Amino acid sequence: MLVLPIARLQLDECDDTGAYYYLTFKRSPKEKYLLKFLDEDKKLSAFKMLEALREIIKREVKNIKNVEVTVKRKKAGSPAITLLIKNPPVEISVDIILTLEVQQSWPPSTQDGLKIEEWLGRKVRTKPLSHLAYISLQKHPNSSLCYENQFQQKEFRQSGNTWRLSFSHIEKAMLNNHGNSKTCCESDGPKCCRKGCLKLLKYLLEQLKMKYTKELEKFCSYHVKTAFFHSCVMWPNDTDWHLGDLDHCFQKYLGYFLDCLQKSHLPHFFIPKYNLLSLEDKASSNFLSRQINNQLNNGFPIFQERY
């Protein structure tokens, strides 16, 4: 995540989810170079900033001598700029996401989210991080990011100025301090299987996406991570995630995720009104549910497969 601190930005909701926003300057910025990223309605254009960042990265990559680094072609619908780093015997893929740091408290849409009092305690909600709003370049689900020709590019310029709230900073803190007790998974403390369960489901989804790329293109690791956070709230105690109970805990967590797929309802952990599983994508949810149940009923053969 590449964070660009920008003050004096105003967030204006562009729908009723509380997740997507237009950005405008409260007053003309002192940094005049930012004016070139405004669209005709004086909104900060995600499209223009992404294009500029891509050109900067492509230029800088050419100066790297000791390692072979290339910029992957644009992927329709993706806000990421992907670098491919060849380091035999494996190739590393790195996604760069442009994120803006807005000097204000979290918007009202987050008020009923982050229900972690029984799991991590109230202090987490009042940490200084909650007084910074991070917002990342992200297309609105009803807009088009496909710009393979001039007509589509013009279409996207008109709709490509939406941004989505990002909570990666506090998500990382929660994963690093995931226990109900302060000593959970520390060197001298009891170990739990929370992260082990998360890794298993992330891997399962990754492998299924490799097999069924088109059918599962709507899904990403963020669905799995969101379900993980909800599971930690439902089962808040460290004893609920005993290290020796990995199989039982994973199936409990997996069961919750399957229930979300069946209902096409997975609330964003920080923005409860925002459903990450659209009813319009019910067919995709059903397909993923069938594939996971098939793996579950056959002892997860995909964990033994090699590609």
Each residue's pLDDT tens digit, 248-262: 999 999 999 999 999
45, 38 contact by CB (below 8 A): yes
pLDDT at position 192 is 96
Confidence of residue 242 (pLDDT cuts 50, 70, 90): very high
Sheet holding 9-13, edge to edge: 2-6, 98-102, 133-137, 163-166, 20-25, 9-13
Cα–chain-centroid distance for residue 128? 21
Q: 1-177 maps to which CATH number?
A: 3.30.460.90
- Dump the DSSP string for 130-181: GG-EEEEE---TTS----SSHHHHHHHHHHTT-EEEE-HHHHHHHHHT--SS
Mean pLDDT across 42-56: 89
Mean pLDDT check: name the lowest of 1-10, 12-21, 81-90.
1-10
Residue 162 confidence class, pLDDT cut points 50, 70, 90: confident
Reported confidence tier of residue 286, pLDDT bands at 50, 70, 90? very high
Arithmetic mean of pLDDT, 142-152: 37
Q: Cα–chain-centroid distance for residue 217?
A: 14
Instruction: For 32, list phi and psi in degrees, rounded to 5.
Output: -60, -25
Cβ neighbours, 10 Å, residue 297: 8
Distances (CA, A) of 301 to 12, 99, 286: 47, 38, 20
Calculate mean pLDDT across residues 213-220.
92
Statement: residue 290 has pLDDT above 70: yes
DSSP letter (8 states) at residue 307:
-
Q: Is pLDDT of 132 > 80? A: no
Residue intervals of the chain classified under CATH 1.10.1410.40 are 178-307
Rounded to the nearest 10 degrees, how much is the dihedral formed by the CA atoms of 133, 139, 140, 143? 160
Question: Is 129 within 8 Å of 169 (Cβ atoms)?
Answer: yes
Q: Are 192 and 249 in contact (CB under 8 A)?
A: no
For domain 178-307, which CATH number applies: 3.10.105.10, 2.60.40.420, 1.10.10.10, 1.10.1410.40?
A: 1.10.1410.40
Say how many CA atoms lie within 13 Å of 126 toward its Cβ: 4
Whether the per-residue pLDDT at 305 is higher than 90: the answer is no
Going by C-alpha positions, the residue among 105, 113, 97, 112 that lies closest to residue 49 is 97
Q: In what order do the strands lie in the sheet with 68-71?
A: 68-71, 81-87, 90-96
Alpha-carbon torsion angle 25, 173, 123, 230, nearest 10: 100
Map residue 34 onto helix, strand or coil: helix
In this structure, the strands spanning 133-137 and 98-102 are antiparallel
- The answer to whether 9 and 29 have CB atoms below 8 angstroms apart is no
Structure tokens at 204: 């399962």
Domain with CATH 3.30.460.90 in the chain: 1-177
Q: What is the pLDDT of residue 153?
A: 38
DSSP labels, 39-97? -TTSPBPHHHHHHHHHHHHHHHHTT--SSEEEEPPP-TT---EEEEEEETTEEEEEEE-
More confident residue, 133 or 68: 68
Cis ω on the peptide bond leading into residue 107 (within 30° of 0)? Answer: no
| 17: Cβ contacts below 8 Å, ≥ 6 apart | 109, 271, 273, 274, 275
Q: What is the pLDDT of residue 268?
A: 95
Res 127 pLDDT > 70: no
Asked whether the predicted pLDDT for residue 78 surpasses 90, the reply is: no
